[in-house]
Amino acid sequence: MVANKSLLILPGDGIGPEVMGQVRRVVDWFDRRRSVTFNISEGLVGGAAYDAHGTPLTDETMADAMAADAVLFGSVGGPKYDDAPRDLRPEMGLLRLRKEMDLFANLRPALVFDALIDASTLKEDVVRGLDLLIVRESTSGVYFGQPRGVETLPDGRRRAYDTQEYTDSEIQRVAALAFELARQRGNRLTSVEKANVMETGIFWREIVTKLHADSYSDVELDHMYADNCAMQLVRNPKQFDVIVTDNLFGDILSDCAAMLTGSLGMLPSATLGAVDDSGRRRALYEPVHGSAPDIAGKDMANPIACLLSFSMLLKYSFGMDEDAALIDNAVQNVLGSGVRTADIMSKGAARVSTSVMGDAIIREMDKQAA
C-alpha cells in the first residue's frame, strides 16, 4: 500500500482535458480499489494558461511541479495561438517544465500491439512484435542553445540563427541512463548523431564511446547517423533495442518510430531527471500525441496514450509495477476484444468514443482485480 503520493495534473489544450478525464477515472479507481491515495492538484498549462494568465506556465504552477512527486501532462497548442508572441507560445510551457525541472531524458517507447497490427502503414512482418525505446535528450541542444535570434545585417538582409550545443556532462548523463535501460531490455544501444557533419556530433560520439569503454562495455553499442536512422526505422525497425540521441533528432525520430505502431494515440512517454539526495527523481509523463485541435471536444480522441503514461508514472515514479501492469493488460485486452477509437479503427472492429474506451478499460480493470 502506497499512501499520499503527490501528483500534479496539467491537462493543457485541445484533446488534453478529454483524455486526462479518463485518467482521472483510473486514478479514482486506484483510490477505491487498491488503497492507494494520491494527493492530486490540477493546473493550467499552454494555451489554457495563456488565456487565463497571459503566460503558458505561471510561476505558481512551476513551483507546484517542482514540489510534486510526479507530473502528468496532457498536450498543448492549437491554431488559436499561432499569433501569440514567440516566448509565450503554448509549447513554451512544456519546454520550461522540462528545463527547470532538469528532466534530461525523454523515454519514448514504440510498441506494436498484436491487435493493432493492421493500424500500421507498414507491412505486418516489418512491425509485428516491435518493441523499441528512444531516449531523447530533453534539456539542451538546439532547443535551448544560446545565442539564438533574428538580426538585421548591415546590408539590410535579415538572418535567423539557433545554436546547437552540448556539454560532456549533458551527454554523459543521458547516455548513462540509456545504457542502464538497455541492460534491463535487450542490452543493445544505438547512439545517433551527425558525426559526419557536426562538431556536436563528433563530440557526442566521442563521449558515448568513452562512457561505454569505462562503464558499460557489457552493453552492445553501435553508432548511426541520424538520417540513416530515420531510413532504418522505416526499413527494419526491429533491428533496434534502445536508441539514444539529442533533443532535435530525438523529436523527429520519435515521431517516426511512433507512427510505426499505427497511431500516435497509443504512445506514452516519461521524462526523467536525476535522482536527488532524498532518492526522489523528478518526472513528467505525457502522451506523445499533440493537442489534435481538429478533433478536440468531440469525444473522439484516443485516451490510451495518456492512460499508458499514467502507467509509466506508477512504474517509474512509484515502483508500482503490478498496478502499472494491470493498466497495460487492461488496455491490451480491450484492444484484443475489438474496441477501437477512430484513430486505430479497423474493419470489423467497434468504433467507440473517448469515454466509452475509458468505460471498457475500467471494466477490464475491475475484472482483473476481482
Cell of 56: 503558458
Query: How many Cα neighbours within 13 Å face the side chain of 325?
Result: 6
Q: Which is nearer to Mg ion, 287 or 303 (CB)?
A: 287
Q: Can you say whether the dihedral through the CA atoms of 15, 339, 365, 270 is positive or negative?
A: negative
Active site residue 102: no
Q: Which is nearer to Mg ion, 170 or 251 (CB)?
A: 251
**Active-site hit among 251, 323, 328, 343:** 251
Contacts of 12 (CB under 8 A, 6+ apart): 45, 46, 47, 48, 73, 74, 75, 76, 90, 93, 291
C-alpha span between 111 and 357 (Å, rounded): 20
Q: By CB under 6 A, tell whether 162 contacts ligand IPM.
A: no
DSSP 8-state class, residue 211: H
Contact 112, 127 (CB under 8 A): yes
Residue nearest ligand IPM, CB atom distance:
91
Active site residue 143: yes
Active site residue 367: no
Give me the DSSP letters along 39-85: EEEE---THHHHHHHSSSS-HHHHHHHHHSSEEEEEE---GGGTTS-
Q: Which is nearer to ligand IPM, 78 or 358 (CB)?
A: 78
Contact 353, 347 (CB under 8 A): no
Of 88-96, 114-122, 321-329, 335-343, the segment contacting ligand IPM by CB under 6 A is 88-96
Ranges within 196-255 binding ligand IPM (CB under 6 A): 251
**Active-site hit among 194, 216, 246, 285:** 194
Partner touching 94 among ligand IPM, Mg ion, none, CB below 5 to 8 Å by kind? ligand IPM
Q: By CB under 6 A, tell whether 91 contacts ligand IPM.
A: yes
Neighbouring CB atoms inside 10 A of 48's CB total: 23
Partner touching 243 among ligand IPM, Mg ion, none, CB below 5 to 8 Å by kind? none
Binder of Mg ion out of 137, 170, 193, 251 (CB under 5 A): 251
Binder of ligand IPM out of 94, 97, 101, 257 (CB under 6 A): 94
Of 53-61, 90-98, 171-179, 184-192, the segment contacting ligand IPM by CB under 6 A is 90-98
Q: Which residue(s) pair with 73 in the sheet?
A: 10
Active site residue 123: no
Residue 216: CB minimum distance to ligand IPM, A: 27
Cell of 262: 499505427
Query: Which residues are at the interface with ligand IPM (CB under 6 A)?
Result: 91, 94-95, 251
- The residues assigned a catalytic role are 143, 194, 227, 251, 255
Query: Which residues are at the interface with Mg ion (CB under 5 A)?
Result: 251
